[in-house]
Amino acid sequence: MAFLIDPYKKIQTELAGYNAALVAVTKTKPVEDIMEAYQAGHRDFGENYVQELLDKQEALPKDIRWHFIGHLQSNKVKYIAPFIHLIHGVDSEKLLLEIDKQGKKLNRDISCLLQIHISAEETKFGLDEVELKTIHENIAARKIILDKAQLKGFMGMASFTEDNDLIKKEFSHLKVLFDEYSTLNDQYSILSMGMSADYRFAIEAGSNMVRIGSLLFGSRIYHK
Ligand SMILES: *Cc1c(COP(=O)(O)O)cnc(C)c1O
């Protein structure tokens, strides 16, 4: 498998109509595939695993904007802090504070998104609405003081289901939350939602950043 240029162009054209950005998700894919997309002009790539990201970052051009889209453990923030462009999956105060701490050490702003749990599934990570509210209250009350961690918006994943109405409902719900919190936080500008199977529903619901892997690089085979 390699980079699929025709689907790429088609998706980019579609996204342009919605002013939505594309993060090309390359987990499990070789650096050769990423280079093909890079040569086609793409610069935003998403990875889920820290070690895999570090290896690829080392091997690939330095003007790539790397997005961390997986579940990030606090003790691993320090490895990606020097170069990461956007951390999509912040789902605890602890992680947010660790990102801030590493940003301070490096004197580097680190952009991040709060991951919100919107799906009916138990398994997916993310903040529930109470936790979301608490984080914002703590920031407002200066119980949490962020210096270098820059909150830029929200990320969410819909249920993995054939029920399109449910998917649309979950994305619309996240968009409502995003609009609500955006009125209070003028730094909020990114709503990251939508993957290969559901990105059309996501952009119709107001997503402005989609994370697409399989449609661009073929399906993934895991060797575990
Ligand atoms: C793997 C992954 C994607 C991309 O999935 P595809 O179905 O291949 O498009 C998007 N977001 C997250 C968080 C992922 O883990």
Taking a C-beta distance cutoff of 8 angstroms, is the pair 155, 89 a contact?
Answer: yes
Residue 224 has pLDDT above 60, yes or no: no
What is the mean pLDDT of the segment spanning 2-23? 97
Structure-token pair, residue 94: 């602890």
Question: Ligand 1 pocket: which of 211, 215, 222 to mutate (most atoms <8 Å of CB)?
Answer: 211
Q: Which atom of ligand 1 is nearest to the CA of 27?
A: 1
> Token digits for 26?
């390359």
Give residue 221's pLDDT.
Answer: 73
Q: In this model, does residue 39 exceed pLDDT 80?
A: yes
pLDDT of residue 1: 61
CA of 69 to the centre of ligand 1 (A): 8
Average pLDDT over residues 80-97: 97
Q: What is the mean pLDDT of the chain?
A: 96
pLDDT at 209 over 70: yes
pLDDT at 223 over 90: no
146 within 8 A of 96, measured Cβ to Cβ? yes
Amino acid at residue number 114: L
- Distances in Å between the Cα of 115 and the Cα atoms of 41, 96, 124, 158, 218 are 28, 11, 10, 12, 26
